[in-house]
Structure 1
Amino acid sequence: MKEIYEPKFVEKLFDNMSNSYSRMNYISSFGFSERWRRLFVEEVGIEKGKTVVDLMTGMGECWKYIVLKGDTNAKLIALDFSTEMIHRAEKNKAKLEGSKIEILKENVFNNSIPNETADVVVSGFGLKTFNHEQLGELANQIHRILKTNGRFSLIDVSVPKNKILKLFYMFYLKNIIPILGRVFLGSPETYKMLGVYTEEFGDAQHVYRIFSRPEFEIEYIEYFYGCATGIKGKKIK
């Protein structure tokens, strides 16, 4: 399974899914993905005039919850390495006229964001594509990017602990979603990977352990009985 965490593999996968990813993400979460995006962004309480970094931004699905109306002093830096996702993010940017949004096509592990740039860092639904070592490097990058007392919030779909819910949810991800992938893309194998990544990811408990460092204050969070999990925290030094 090592190859599924290779950046080139992940980049190609999301390039292939970009045309229907938003719809499929909504379907695969039974419509909860939008609610989870709103909730995990709300966890950090973004204030006016702040700089927010959205890592693994995709098409910018979280932006409507990040950008505050009438906040001309705020800045959003959005980063992703998928060419097709960035192309769609540029179109989304055009819909948020008046907002300061800088889009970077870069790998999160080798990005050009200066040290201590961000008041807030968020990332929605990208954690599952990282192995333990990469999650450690993600923690390094978030620490580097954040100002002292800056906050962060991360979320991803997860395997619920409830046995009945887990059985149903994983059957849906591993069997029904690939069928829908065939309908939308003509390729069930592409969307089959959502189930593979989710099963390998489990939940964000291991993310919590990796981020449990003296320089962070962190908290583990569950959404809808553990179908999504994440962490939120603050850089204290």
Structure 2
Amino acid sequence: MSNPGKGIYDPAFVKELFDRCSKKYILFSYVCSMGFTERWRRQCVEALPKTPEPPQTCYDLMAGTGEIWPHLMRRYPDIQKVIAVDISSGMHQRALKRLHDMRADKIGFVEDDVLASDLPPSSADLIVSTFGLKTFNSAQHQKLAELTASTLKPGGAFCFIEASDPKGWWLRPLYIFYLKQVLPMVEKIFLKGARDFAMIGTYSTNFGDASNLADQLRAEGLEVTFRTHFFGCATSVSGRQPVA
């Protein structure tokens, strides 16, 4: 990893990390999660509460390679725009090149630190995020909660999902061993000694789960449901902005 003096939650560190990961991210993520990441993306979209009107605009925060977009467009075929916000231009370019050329007319992109982006108030019918929460610390999660509350329209819905630390699960030691020992070994062997994907284990165990973010979102006045997925290996928060 380059520039080890930067904190792992520093936006510049995260950008450099995911720019380097971008070419191999889709394959590595799918194979090494044994397909669970795709399942959890689908569940993220399914968990979005119904909105008062058919949604027209969705923000995909920390959008990465955009693998949630097909799920969004299957559920919401009439959606007008998905605006992807991500600090890594490499990830977004990979998304459009490999996955979504046929949907480019519906995809907009903002290359920016999500927490520093100038998203208009009350402009989103939907907000989603998949596997980006772990790259934020608690103070950054608070800013995300504030951004979500300010950006959603009345009745607007959100869902965020993230790989988590399944505390209490009897197979947790094996899961943590897989994250922190097996994945780095696979990366070292097959990705020419890279150590970027090895950060997944560090980020995930530091993150814990989404329960703290759920509390932060509730404190901003949002209706919130917290869920666990596959024994706590992922957790999600979903809900909506009250209509009145």
| TM-score over 0.5 (shorter chain) | yes
Measure how far apart 1:213 and its partner are.
1.3
Q: What residue ranges of structure 2 are gaps of 5+ in the alignment?
A: none
1:38 to 19, 38, 42: 42
* Correspondence for 1:11: 15
Q: What residue ranges of structure 1 are gaps of 5+ in the alignment?
A: none
Would the alpha carbon gap of residues 2 and 221 (structure 1) be closer, same or farther in structure 2, given more than 3 Å must change? farther
* Correspondence for 1:95: 102
* Correspondence for 2:72: 66
2:96 is aligned with 1:106: no
* Correspondence for 1:125: 131
Measure how far apart 1:69 and its partner are.
7.8
1:49–1:71 CA contact under 8 A, matched in 2: no
Report matched runs for 1:1-237 at 5 Å. Answer: 3-45=7-49, 48-68=54-74, 71-72=77-78, 74-91=80-97, 92-96=99-103, 99-236=105-242
2:198 aligned partner, one-letter code:
K
Would the alpha carbon gap of residues 112 and 2 (structure 1) be closer, same or farther in structure 2, given more than 3 Å must change? same
Would the alpha carbon gap of residues 96 and 120 (structure 1) be closer, same or farther in structure 2, given more than 3 Å must change? same
Bigger Cα displacement from structure 2, 85-94 vs 223-232: 85-94
Measure how far apart 1:74 and its partner are.
2.3
Question: Secondary structure of the equivalent of 2:170?
Answer: helix
Q: 1 CA distance for matches of 2:50 and 2:154?
A: 15
1:222 aligned partner, one-letter code:
T
Measure how far apart 1:94 and its partner are.
1.1
Question: Secondary structure of the equivalent of 1:20?
Answer: helix
Q: 1 CA distance for matches of 2:238 and 2:20?
A: 30
In the alignment of these two chains, the number of paired residues is 236
Q: 1 CA distance for matches of 2:23 and 2:17?
A: 12
RMSD: 2.1
Q: 2 CA distance for matches of 1:218 and 1:17?
A: 32
Q: 2 CA distance for matches of 1:45 and 1:95?
A: 27
1:67 aligned partner, one-letter code:
M
Q: 2 CA distance for matches of 1:72 and 1:220?
A: 28
2:146–2:217 CA contact under 8 A, matched in 1: no
Would the alpha carbon gap of residues 74 and 68 (structure 1) be closer, same or farther in structure 2, given more than 3 Å must change? farther
Identical-residue share of aligned pairs (%): 37
Would the alpha carbon gap of residues 159 and 142 (structure 1) be closer, same or farther in structure 2, given more than 3 Å must change? same
Bigger Cα displacement from structure 2, 136-145 vs 184-193: 184-193
Q: 2 CA distance for matches of 1:115 and 1:189?
A: 39
Would the alpha carbon gap of residues 44 and 70 (structure 1) be closer, same or farther in structure 2, given more than 3 Å must change? closer
Q: 1 CA distance for matches of 2:146 and 2:26?
A: 29
